[in-house]
Amino acid sequence: MDRQRRRILKKRAAASGDKRIQALLNVLNHGQNPRFHPSIVVEFRSLVKQLRDLDELFRSNPKLFRQDNGEHIEIFKQINLVLSRYKVFLRILYSFRYGKPNPQGWESAWFRANDSEQECIEMQLILTIIEIAQNERIQLLVQCQECKKWLFARVSSQKFCSEKCRDKFHSSNEADKKRRAAWARQKYARKVRSKKGV
C-alpha cells in the first residue's frame, strides 16, 4: 500500500468516526426523532450517564473493579440489562440502497434476530457509545451548560456548544450574582434599621 492510499484510508476512518458520533448526537438531541421511540432516546442518554459514572468510579478507585461487590456492580447490571435487550445479527448489503455506494460496494447493517427483515438501527448507536467509552472519551460526551444540547467536546474543559451559549451563561450568572448581592445588602439594611428601631 503506498503512502497516499494509506493517508486516504486514515482520513476516511476519521471521517466515518465523526459521522457516527454526529449520528449519535442527532439522536441524543432529538428526543422526538420519529425514527426512534422516545424511550429509546431516554435509554441512550442514561447509558451515556451510566458509562460516565463507571468511568468516574474507576478513576477514583481502580481497585474497586477487582471486587465483586461495590457501587460499580449495580451499574454493570443496569448497563447489561439494556444491552441484553438487543438480539441482533450482522448482514452485508449492496450499498446502493442510499444512492451512493460505499467504496467497496457494500455495507454492513444490524438486523433483529426475531425479525430478520427489520434493521436494528439502534445497534450502531449503542456500539458507538460503547466505543467512545472504551477509548476513554465518554467524559467528552456532555450537554451544553446553557442550552442543554448534547455535544462531543474537543477538549475536556469545553462546557458550551457555542460562544453564544458561553456568553449567555456567564452574563446571566453575572446578573444573578448582582441580584443576590443587592438582595443581601437590602436585607442587611433592614436588619440594621429594625435594630435601631427605625
Rule CB under 5 A: which residues touch Zn ion?
144, 146-147, 149, 161, 165
Nearer to Zn ion, 48 or 165 (CB): 165
CB of 164 to Zn ion, least distance (A): 7
Q: Name the nearest CA neighbour of 55 among 123, 128, 127, 140.
A: 140
Residue 24 identity (one-letter amino acid) = L
Nearer to Zn ion, 21 or 151 (CB): 151
CB of 30 to Zn ion, least distance (A): 15
DSSP state of 101: P
Nearer to Zn ion, 122 or 146 (CB): 146
Cell of 116: 430478520
* Biggest CA pair distance of the chain: 91
Nearer to Zn ion, 78 or 145 (CB): 145
Planar angle of CA 79, 84, 87, nearest 5 degrees: 140
CB of 76 to Zn ion, least distance (A): 32
- Return the sign of the alpha-carbon dihedral for residues 21, 25, 26, 27: positive
- Could you give the CA distance from residue 127 to residue 121 in angstroms, rounded to a whole number? 11
CB of 43 to Zn ion, least distance (A): 23
CB of 145 to Zn ion, least distance (A): 8
Nearer to Zn ion, 71 or 167 (CB): 167
- Could you give the CA distance from residue 144 to residue 146 in angstroms, rounded to a whole number? 5
